[in-house]
Amino acid sequence: MSPTLHAVIAFLQTWWVELVSGVVIVAVVPLITGYMVLMERKLMADMQARLGPMRVGPHGLLQPIADAVKLLIKEDIIPDDADKMVFWLAPVVSMTAALTAMAGIAFGPAFEVARDINVGLLFIVGVSSLGLFGIVLGGWASNSHYSIMGALRSTAQLVSYETAAGLALVSGLLMAGTLNIRAIVDAQYSSGVWFGFLTPVAFFIYAVASIAETNRAPFDLPEAESELVAGYMTEYSGFRWACYFLGEYANMIVVGAVATTLFLGGWLRPFPRVHWLNWLDAVPALFTAAVGVYCALRAGKQPVRVQVWFMWAVALACFAVALILAVPLAVAPLKFMVPGLNGAFWFLLKITGYIYLFMWLRFTLPRYRFDQLMHLGWYILIPLAIVNVLAVGVAMILEMEYGWNRWLALIVTTILTLATALFLLRLNDKRAAAATSAVPPEGPATEDSYAG
């Protein structure tokens, strides 16, 4: 008994940070996901000149919790002809993959679960790609035509766009020279510029491919509600459906974190090496304080007493966070906390910006047709990504071996890549024109929508 107890205590002493972080991820991510949905609904309402959810809590702030409770107490339906085991397994796989991938993300220099793993970025990308099995197996197990169509589309889409995303990541990683997350951010610190500006083409390709990988509009073909009811989730309800939803939104956080780490400077503030901009270190505290002041001002205008109190509570929470962010700036012995706290702030701000872009695109662009999606992936993005990898490699060689200025080398190669992109687009137009002239208009069925 005693040696076992000792072993357990030793185990806890070694690994308590990781264990606590794991529990925090599992506990907090569903909450964040709920508020992402609220943010999305509010943004959609704003862009469509509506108010969005307003009833539950002030400005609908408690709506996610109400939704979660509703999903938990909803009847859980399993179709009679479904494959029970796989039907049960699929949403769990989807959610687990997304949450596990989160273990590799570093939310700032002080907040990392899997500390300094050698293959950090690949770990995140590889594990989050396992979420695909949740979609495929769920679609298959439901034993429904809509579901299996959604699953097939999803497989084809994700396999295609993962290639493009991987090649785009290679372009960025060439400059970082490592897969370790901390080293990637350090490389951006020492080069003084975010890699997104050095390889804009790779960043663009990754942004497009990551939208397709998270099944977001305009690439939400696997769950296109006007064609497939809800795609692979058609037969799912209640908690299982919530698992899928959680996985999908957690995946958005994951791709946002990958893009932020590699292309947007990770947890670095803007211009990390320009010293007269050091006042930017105070921005996190000021920002949260400003949000708190705004909430306090709005509190008096709430229609119901409870909502007034709630708004004050939100304002006080903001002030508390602002205080936590501000105290290390002012008190000298706590200075060591500044990089960690501010880093987490900037990282989360960048991820939020990236996710905001996703949502903005969703409300702006119409959905692609499936063959258009495949054409974009295979005929444009993948060749462009390959050319870009070559171009970035050439730029690195020019810089290291021939002493070119880094910017000059990269600008020349980027222009070359963009010329290739124009060439590819023209080629694609020609191909499309040839296809339309060759195929009689009443026979569109000759188009193989799963080609590739």
Tokens for 35, please give them: 């508020």
Sequence-distant (6+) residues with CB within 8 A of 21 are: 103, 111, 112, 113
For residue 176, the SS3 value is: helix
**Residue list 198-217, contact with other proteins (CB under 8 A):** none
By CB under 8 A, residue 95 contacts other proteins: no
By CB under 8 A, residue 151 contacts other proteins: yes
| 96, 143, 155, 191: residue in contact with other proteins (rule CB under 8 A) | 155
For residue 106, the SS3 value is: strand
Question: Smallest distance from the beta carbon of 136 to other proteins, in angstroms?
Answer: 6
Q: Which amino acid is at 152?
A: L
The span from the CA of 260 to the CA of 358, in Å, is: 14
Cα end-to-end span (Å), the chain? 59
Helix, strand, coil percent values for the chain (each to nearest 5):
75, 0, 20
Q: Dihedral angle at the C-alpha atoms of 294, 300, 301, 304, nearest 10 degrees?
A: 130
By CB under 8 A, residue 297 contacts other proteins: no
| 26, 69, 85, 425: residue in contact with other proteins (rule CB under 8 A) | 85
Question: Smallest distance from the beta carbon of 132 to other proteins, in angstroms?
Answer: 6
By CB under 8 A, residue 235 contacts other proteins: no
**x-marked contacts with other proteins along 159-178 as a string, rule CB under 8 A:** x--x---------------x
Alpha-helical (H) ranges within 177-304 are 181-191, 195-198, 200-213, 225-228, 238-263, 283-299
For residue 374, the SS3 value is: helix
Question: Smallest distance from the beta carbon of 119 to other proteins, in angstroms?
Answer: 5
Sequence-distant (6+) residues with CB within 8 A of 391 are: 413, 414, 416, 417
Closer of 169 and 246 to other proteins (Cβ): 169
Closer of 152 and 418 to other proteins (Cβ): 152
Sequence-distant (6+) residues with CB within 8 A of 51 are: 45
Question: Smallest distance from the beta carbon of 295 to other proteins, in angstroms?
Answer: 43
Tell me which stretch binds other proteins (CB under 8 A): 16-24, 152-160, 323-331, 405-413: 152-160
By CB under 8 A, residue 92 contacts other proteins: no
By CB under 8 A, residue 152 contacts other proteins: yes
Closer of 88 and 111 to other proteins (Cβ): 88
**Residue list 4-63, contact with other proteins (CB under 8 A):** 7, 11
Which residue carries 């990392």 as its tokens?
112
Question: Smallest distance from the beta carbon of 449 to other proteins, in angstroms?
Answer: 13
Number of separate helices (H) and strands (E) present in the chain: 17, 0
Closer of 93 and 376 to other proteins (Cβ): 93
Question: Smallest distance from the beta carbon of 366 to other proteins, in angstroms?
Answer: 27
By CB under 8 A, residue 67 contacts other proteins: no
CB-count burial class (<10 Å; 0-12, 13-18, 19+) for 69: exposed
By CB under 8 A, residue 103 contacts other proteins: no
| 82, 105, 156, 344: residue in contact with other proteins (rule CB under 8 A) | 156
By CB under 8 A, residue 244 contacts other proteins: no
Closer of 37 and 119 to other proteins (Cβ): 119
Residue 105 φ/ψ, nearest 5 degrees: -75, 145
Q: At what angle do helices 84-102 and 131-141 cross, to 10 degrees?
A: 160
| 39, 44, 66, 179: residue in contact with other proteins (rule CB under 8 A) | 179
DSSP state of 275: G
**Residue list 116-145, contact with other proteins (CB under 8 A):** 117-119, 122-123, 125-127, 129-130, 132-133, 136-137, 140
Site residue total, other proteins (CB under 8 A): 31
By CB under 8 A, residue 383 contacts other proteins: no
Q: Which amino acid is at 324?
A: I
Residues near other proteins, by CB under 8 A = 7, 11, 83, 85-86, 89, 117-119, 122-123, 125-127, 129-130, 132-133, 136-137, 140, 148, 151-152, 155-156, 158-159, 162, 178-179
